C-alpha cells in the first residue's frame, strides 16, 4: 500500500479489524511512519454493552495475533459522540486523496462511517485547511489516548492553527544544498538578518558523507546540524536556537557551505583505555570541542547541545585527550594552563 513496511502495517491493521468484528465502527485513523511511529486508532459502538469506546494500538509493538495484549482502550461518553456528529453534520464530502507522492513519511488515513455512508480522507502529516472538520475527530480521539501521543495532535493540527513552520523545518525536504534558491525556504527578513551572521559562523565542518556541524555566535552559541543526501537531494536542518523555523543561523551556515568557508572543530575524547584512537575515529567516539572556557572544555554533547565539562577530575588530573588540534596546538596549550593552575 505504501511500500514494503507499509504493506506490513496494512496486514497488521487488517488483523486488528478482525478483532473488532461485530461492533459499529464510527471513525478510524491510520498514521503510518509518522515521526517513525505507526499507530492505529478507532472509535466503536458496542451494541451489546451500549457503550462507545476509543481503542488504539502501536503497530510496531504488535508481534503476534493476540491483539488484546497490545490494545489500549478508553470509554467515551455518548454526549461527546453527539457533539462530534453535530460538528460533522453537512461538512462531510466525497472521499479525498491529498497524499503527496514525494513525501515518504507521515501518511494519514481517516475513515468515517456515519449515516450509512463511508468517507475516506488521505493526507500527509497535517490536517489540510480544506478539511478543517477533521480537527474535531482528532481532538476527541486524542483526548482519550495516552499523553505521550499528544505531540502528534499538535503537529497534525498545526496547519489549521497557522503554526506549522516549527514542524516543517525539521522535516526532510527536497532541496539541493548547493544550487536551490534559498528564497524557497527563507523569507526575505531572515535572509537580510542572516547575511549579518556570515562572519559569526565560528565552526563549520563536514562529517561522514552526509552531515555538517556548525556553531554560530549569536546571543549565545548555537549548534547547527545539517544532514544532506546528495543522491536523493533530501535536506534536513536543525538549529538549537529558540526560533522554530528556518532561522538566520541556518541561512548563514548554508551560505558558508556554498562559499566553501569551513573551520574545523577541535576533537577530544575521554581516555578510558578500552579503545584505540582509530576505533574512536571510525566510530565517532569523540566530542567536537570549541575550546576552553573557565577551566572547562566547551563541547558538543550527544543531545544536540553545547555544554561545559570540567577539564580536571577529582584527583586534579584529566582523562580528556586531544584527538585533533589546530596547527598551533592552541587547545593543548589552553588545557596545559588549566592543569598547571
Band of the pLDDT at 167, cuts 50, 70, 90?
A: confident
User: If DSSP codes are grouped into helix, strand and coil, which group holds residue 53?
Assistant: strand
| Choice between 169 and 339, residue whose per-residue pLDDT is larger | 339
Longest CA pairwise span in the chain (Å): 82
Q: Quote the pLDDT of residue 136.
A: 87
| Choice between 167 and 189, residue whose per-residue pLDDT is larger | 189
Band of the pLDDT at 169, cuts 50, 70, 90?
A: low
Residue % of the chain over a pLDDT of 70? 93
The sheet with strand 107-114 has its strands ordered as 71-76, 51-58, 37-46, 24-34, 107-114, 117-124, 96-97
Distance CA 16, CA 71 (A): 9
Distance CA 315, CA 305 (A): 28
Question: Which H/E stretch holds residue 148?
Answer: none
User: If DSSP codes are grouped into helix, strand and coil, which group holds residue 333?
Assistant: helix
80-108 confidence digits (pLDDT tens): 899 889 889 889 988 999 988 767 678 99
- Taking the alpha carbons at both ends of the chain, their separation in whole angstroms is 65
Going along the chain from its start, the domains and CATH numbers come out as 4-162 (3.30.1560), 173-258 (no CATH), 266-340 (no CATH)
| Cα–Cα distance list, 14 to 21, 40, 215 (Å) | 11, 11, 48
Residue 201's nearest CA partner among 184, 186, 213 is: 213
Band of the pLDDT at 125, cuts 50, 70, 90?
A: confident
Assess contact for 124 and 99: CB atoms under 8 A: yes
pTM recorded for the entire structure:
0.61
Instruction: Report residue 98: phi and psi, to 5°.
Output: -115, 20
| Cα–Cα distance list, 295 to 290, 308, 314 (Å) | 13, 9, 14
The residue-averaged pLDDT of 190-197 equals: 97
CA–centroid distance for 221 within its chain: 22
Assess contact for 278 and 284: CB atoms under 8 A: no
Q: What is the number of H-type helices and E-type strands within the chain?
A: 9, 17
The grid coordinates of residue 10 equal: 496494512
Cell 543531545 sits at which residue? 303
Q: Quote the pLDDT of residue 69.
A: 93
Assess contact for 149 and 125: CB atoms under 8 A: no
Q: Is the pLDDT of residue 277 over 70?
A: no
Q: Is the pLDDT of residue 334 over 90?
A: yes
| Choice between 48 and 282, residue whose per-residue pLDDT is larger | 48
308-321 confidence digits (pLDDT tens): 999 998 888 888 99
21-40 confidence digits (pLDDT tens): 889 999 999 999 988 899 99
User: If DSSP codes are grouped into helix, strand and coil, which group holds residue 272?
Assistant: coil
Band of the pLDDT at 282, cuts 50, 70, 90?
A: low
User: If DSSP codes are grouped into helix, strand and coil, which group holds residue 1?
Assistant: coil
Average pLDDT, the chain: 89
Instruction: Report residue 305: phi and psi, to 5°.
Output: -135, 175
Q: Quote the pLDDT of residue 260.
A: 97
Assess contact for 103 and 88: CB atoms under 8 A: no
Band of the pLDDT at 5, cuts 50, 70, 90?
A: low
285-301 confidence digits (pLDDT tens): 788 999 999 999 999 98
Question: Within 10 A of 87 (CB to CB), how many other CB atoms are there?
Answer: 15
CA angle 339, 273, 293 (to 5 degrees): 30
The grid coordinates of residue 224 equal: 547547527
| Residues sharing a CB contact under 8 Å with residue 293, sequence separation 6 or more, in sequence order | 308
Q: What is the CA radius of gyration of the chain?
A: 26
Distance CA 2, CA 44 (A): 26
Q: Is the pLDDT of residue 279 over 70?
A: no
CB-neighbour burial class of residue 10 (10 A; exposed 0-12, middle 13-18, buried 19+):
middle
The residue-averaged pLDDT of 149-167 equals: 85
Distance CA 279, CA 212 (A): 21
Q: Quote the pLDDT of residue 17.
A: 95
Q: Quote the pLDDT of residue 74.
A: 93
Q: Quote the pLDDT of residue 302.
A: 74
Amino acid at each position: 500500500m505504501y511500500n514494503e513496511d507499509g504493506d506490513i502495517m496494512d496486514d497488521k491493521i487488517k488483523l486488528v479489524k478482525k478483532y473488532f468484528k461485530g461492533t459499529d465502527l464510527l471513525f478510524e485513523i491510520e498514521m503510518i511512519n509518522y515521526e517513525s511511529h505507526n499507530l492505529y486508532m478507532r472509535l466503536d459502538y458496542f451494541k451489546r454493552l451500549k457503550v462507545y469506546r476509543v481503542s488504539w494500538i502501536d503497530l510496531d509493538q504488535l508481534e503476534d495475533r493476540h491483539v488484546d495484549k497490545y490494545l489500549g482502550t478508553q470509554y467515551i461518553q455518548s454526549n461527546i459522540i453527539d457533539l462530534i456528529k453535530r460538528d460533522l453534520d453537512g461538512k462531510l464530502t466525497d472521499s479525498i486523496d491529498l497524499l503527496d507522492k514525494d513525501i515518504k513519511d507521515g501518511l494519514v488515513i481517516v475513515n468515517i462511517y456515519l449515516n450509512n455512508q463511508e468517507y475516506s480522507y488521505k493526507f500527509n502529516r497535517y490536517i489540510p485547511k480544506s478539511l478543517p472538520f477533521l480537527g474535531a475527530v482528532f481532538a476527541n480521539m486524542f483526548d482519550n489516548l495516552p499523553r505521550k501521543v499528544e505531540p502528534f495532535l499538535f503537529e497534525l493540527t498545526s496547519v489549521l492553527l497557522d503554526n506549522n513552520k516549527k514542524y516543517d523545518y525539521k522535516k526532510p525536504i527536497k532541496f539541493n544544498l548547493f544550487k536551490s534558491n534559498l528564497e524557497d525556504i527563507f523569507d526575505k527578513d531572515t535572509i537580510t538578518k542572516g547575511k549579518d551572521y556570515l562572519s559569526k559562523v565560528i565552526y563549520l565542518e563536514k562529517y561522514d558523507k552526509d552531515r555538517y556541524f556548525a556553531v554560530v555566535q549569536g546571543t549565545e552559541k548555537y549548534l547547527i546540524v545539517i544532514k544532506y543526501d546528495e543522491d536523493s537531494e533530501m535536506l534536513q536542518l536543525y538549529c538549537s536556537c529558540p526560533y522554530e523555523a528556518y532561522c538566520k543561523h541556518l541561512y548563514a551556515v548554508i551560505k558558508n557551505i556554498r562559499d566553501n568557508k569551513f573551520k574545523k572543530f577541535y576533537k577530544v575524547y575521554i581516555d578510558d583505555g578500552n579503545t584505540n584512537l582509530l576505533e574512536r575515529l571510525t566510530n565517532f567516539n569523540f566530542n567536537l570541542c570549541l575550546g576552553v572556557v573557565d577551566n572547562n572544555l566547551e563541547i558538543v554533547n550527544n543531545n544536540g547541545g553545547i555544554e561545559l565539562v570540567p577539564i580536571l577530575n577529582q584527583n586534579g588530573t584529566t582523562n580528556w585527550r586531544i584527538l585533533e588540534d589546530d596547527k598551533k596546538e592552541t587547545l593543548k596549550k589552553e588545557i596545559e594552563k588549566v592543569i598547571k593552575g
